[in-house]
């Protein structure tokens, strides 16, 4: 899990990357809007946007 003390790397995310993760989440039956809210909340908590890939994989592993 990412924490506030983790380094703040800069992540360049292309539209193609985002579309790929959206498809990946949808293929697994996961609500993309729920993930987006989680990602925004995590960004607010950390003070910077975390790696999209790490965030997606962490979100998928979370129990629902």
Tokens of 22: 């959206």
The domain tally of the chain equals: 1
pLDDT value of position 12: 72
pLDDT value of position 48: 84
Q: Residues 6 or more apart from 29 whose CB is under 8 A from it?
A: none
Range of the domain at 42: 15-61
In a domain, 8, yes or no: no
Contact between residue 17 and residue 57 where contact means Cβ atoms under 8 Å apart: no
Beta strands (DSSP E) in the chain are none
* Per-residue pLDDT tens digits for 2-52: 566 666 566 678 889 999 999 999 999 999 999 999 999 999 998 888 889
Residue 63 has pLDDT above 80, yes or no: yes
């Amino acid at each position: 899990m990412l924490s506030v003390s983790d380094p703040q790397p800069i992540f360049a995310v292309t539209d193609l990357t985002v579309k790929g993760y959206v498809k990946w989440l949808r293929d697994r039956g996961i609500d993309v809007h729920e993930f987006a809210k989680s990602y925004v909340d995590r960004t607010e908590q950390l003070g910077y946007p975390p790696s999209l890939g790490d965030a997606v994989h962490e979100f998928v592993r979370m129990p629902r």
